Amino acid sequence: MEKTKVIVGLGSCGIAAGAFKTYQKLEALKTADKLDFELGKTSCIGMCFREPLVEIIDATGSYIYGNVDEKRALEIIEKHVVKQEPVKEYVVKTALFDTVDNKFFDDQVKIALRHCGMIDPESIEDYESQLGYASIRKIAKEKISYEDVIQCILDSGLRGRGGGGFSTGMKWRFARNNKSDEKFIICNADEGDPGAFMDRSLLEGDPHAVLEGMIIGAYAIGATDGVIYCRAEYPLAIKRLNIAIDQAREKAYLGKNILGIKDFNFDIHIKEGAGAFVCGEETALIASVEGERGMPRKRPPFPAESGLWRKPTNINNVETFANIPWIIYNGAAAYSKYGTEKSKGTKVFALAGKINHSGLVEVPMGITIRDIIFKLGGGIPNGKKFKAVQLGGPSGGCIPEFLADTIVDYDSVNATGAIMGSGGMVVMDETTCMVDIAKFFLNFTQEESCGKCTFCRIGTKRMLEILNRITEGKGEESDIAKLEELAVQIKDNSLCGLGQTAPNPVLTTLKYFRDEYEAHIFAKKCPAKACKALLTYEIIEDKCTGCTICAVKCPVKAITGEKKKVHFIHQEMCIKCGDCYARCKFDAISLQ
């Protein structure tokens, strides 16, 4: 009989939730009690809401346990490993019986994330055992021409997963058609969108798939050198990529005449980003790799013609590369059977915000936003009402509840005013103020604007000033029109995607939540009760018992009243810290 395997999910999010402590506990248990099980590690399976996760594989099958802290780890080992009695109430996923979270996986189709949480990301043998590097071997063995590889990717309908949505096959063909002694292939892992973490998860969970995708891409376009441009904020991803690259070099998947393919010489290096959102834009990324300020350049010429060091260069996103080996191995038709007419295959979404099941999901294109949020995401916590979902990060927009039946594909999402982007989905409930959200994103783009184009540099600043004014209760009647005018001008007069899309969060919230802007400006009220300056705290006379706690704790002594008598808040002194509201045990303070 094979040994029982105990596998701990050690992705960044798991570690943040305490998975490393769980791992150490298991290790200690194993040595102390001389227990006979194999302890392994993997990465994120996407169920961030149940981290830390531990999988136990025994003779009967696989059981994934959720929320495994040190105490629970002990219990599970004692019962499941020693006595062979699975602790059913902690199991979150198994094929053997129904669990609360099985639904989380029902509608998912895992292609890009096929190995995440299934293999040890630091072991090339683990990857190889799951058809890893089988695609590049297939190309070598069956002598598939580069033209056929490009055709296969074209036929699959794969579009750039970084957000642009441009046909990957077309991109490769352009790069192939430009003749040069040196060509580059770059993997864009500068995942800067706040709210998106699928690239991090992929790099941490399945770095070899990204490498294999790049190797196939290099073969297709004739690249000699590869660069992975990865955010410095992802130390674990960089560490695992470095391990993976060394292993791939050792096994000769990188190097000279790879797998005996004549004249196919290719190697990959990592460049660490230095923290600039605009470097996700391909020409800015190239400037950054060259060691300059990451400012976008004019296109044309496109990178396929003149990119890194003025040589033909092809840039794809992490998720795009992770799909490539699967498509080559299974064929274009297997991939394009998923999805809609113009958006084929699957897409990874990162669910975060006011949602029960935050984490990563991979679904076929064409599923509705409502299904993602309510079926997979488990709905909104604390019985609150779903209000909107923010898609596409700072370049995207807010899709309101009444459009939740929109299907996810590039064109349907664009029609709402949002964009698919890299797939970050931040869910908002009734307590989220849409003006505040627009302000948050604009604050982000305004800070990240590289300063090259006047409209983006100054226009976003002016828009932000207006939004600050509105949320502080100083909004003017003309402000909405001013915002709209600035938005159109910034869109029209910016060179790169950052500026062209920066006004999107404002435009979509203005389109769908205009009444909230108007409430802020005219009634000086924040309907979601989120904008501090617009709130008033008052004491409800019927409920106040005169316990004095609020008056004692008020930091500015704005509350007066005698013991056992109704208290009073002096509005002109109140700094709206909310301390009295949080402290009152009798719900005697109202918030308007």
Residue closer to another protein, measured from CB, 77 or 361? 361
Helix (H) or strand (E) holding 491: helix 479-493
Q: Rule CB under 8 A: which of 406-445 touch another protein?
A: 424, 426, 428, 432, 437, 440-441, 444
Q: Which of 26, 29, 48, 456 binds another protein (CB under 8 A)?
A: 48
Residue 57 or 435 with smaller CB distance to another protein: 435
Tell me the HSE value of 458 on the side-chain side, using a 13 A CA sphere: 5
Among 248, 351, 398, 551, binds another protein (CB under 8 A): 351
- Look up tokens 């936003």; give the residue: 369
Out of 42, 51, 266, 421, name the contact with another protein by CB under 8 A: 51
Give least dist CB 194 to another protein, A: 4
* Neighbouring C-beta atoms of residue 193, cutoff 10 Å: 25
Q: Specify whether the CB–CB gap between 532 and 469 falls below 8 A.
A: no
Q: Of the listed pieces 187-195, 240-248, 494-502, 564-572, which binds another protein according to CB under 8 A?
A: 187-195
Q: In what order do the strands lie in the sheet with 91-94?
A: 37-42, 4-9, 54-58, 61-65, 91-94
CB closer to another protein out of 168 and 288: 288
Residue nearer to another protein on the CB measure, 274 or 591: 274
For the window 9-28, what string marks contact with another protein as x by the rule CB under 8 A?
A: ---xx-xxx-----------
How far apart are CB 67 and another protein at their closest, in Å? 12
Q: Which is nearer to another protein, 292 or 562 (CB)?
A: 292
Nearer to another protein, 324 or 584 (CB): 584
Distance CA 491, CA 305 (A): 26
Total residues interacting with another protein, rule: CB under 8 A: 54
The DSSP element (H or E) to which 37 belongs, if any, is: strand 37-42
Query: Shortest distance, CB of residue 5 to another protein, whole angstroms?
Result: 26
Work out which of 33, 250, 292, 476 binds another protein, going by CB under 8 A. Answer: 292
Half-sphere exposure of 356 (CA within 13 A, CB side): 19
DSSP string, 329-382: HH-HHHHHTSB-SSSBSEEEEEEEES-SS-EEEEEETT-BHHIIIIIIS---GG
Q: For 401-407, which contacts have Cβ atoms below 8 Å and span 24 or more sequence positions?
A: 403/369, 403/512, 404/368, 404/369, 404/370, 404/373, 405/368, 405/369, 405/370, 406/368, 406/369, 407/340, 407/365, 407/366, 407/367, 407/368, 407/369
Nearer to another protein, 108 or 330 (CB): 108
| Binds another protein (CB under 8 A): choice among 208, 240, 344, 354 | 354
Which token pair is 334?
């297997």
Nearest to 284 by CA among 304, 311, 307: 307
- Give the binding range for another protein (CB under 8 A) out of 75-83, 136-144, 185-193, 493-501: 185-193
Residues 6+ apart with CB under 8 A from 250: none
CA triplet 308, 177, 303: central angle to 5 degrees?
25
Residues 233-262 that bind another protein (CB under 8 A): 233-235
User: Smaller CB distance to another protein: residue 428 or 483?
Assistant: 428
Residue 245 C-beta: closest distance to another protein, Å: 17
463 near another protein (CB under 8 A): no
Neighbours of 555 (CB within 10 A): 9
Residue of 194, 255, 379, 473 interacting with another protein (CB under 8 A): 194
Site string for another protein, 306-345 (x = CB under 8 A): ---x------------------------------------
Q: Classify 305 in phi/psi space as left (phi over 0), alpha (psi -120 to 50) or beta.
A: alpha
Name the DSSP class of 52: S
* Stretch near another protein under the rule CB under 8 A, chosen from 182-190, 270-278, 368-376, 414-422: 270-278
Only one of the segments 165-173, 266-274, 323-331, 488-496 lies at the binding site for another protein (rule: CB under 8 A); that segment is 266-274
Query: Between residues 65 and 335, which has the closer beta carbon with respect to another protein?
Result: 65
Is 467 within 8 Å of 506 (Cβ atoms)? yes
Strand order of the β-sheet with 346-353 is 359-364, 346-353, 424-429, 386-391, 397-400
Distances (CA, A) of 539 to 177, 340, 543, 556: 73, 56, 8, 16
Site for another protein in 384-403 (CB under 8 A): 390, 393
Q: Which is nearer to another protein, 268 or 327 (CB)?
A: 268
Q: Which of 38, 85, 290, 541 binds another protein (CB under 8 A)?
A: 290
State how far the Cα of 532 lies from the Cα of 555, in Å rounded to an integer.
Answer: 16
Contact residues for another protein, defined by CB under 8 A: 12-13, 15-17, 48-49, 51, 191-197, 200, 232-235, 271-277, 288-294, 309, 350-354, 358-359, 390, 393, 424, 426, 428, 432, 437, 440-441, 444, 447, 450
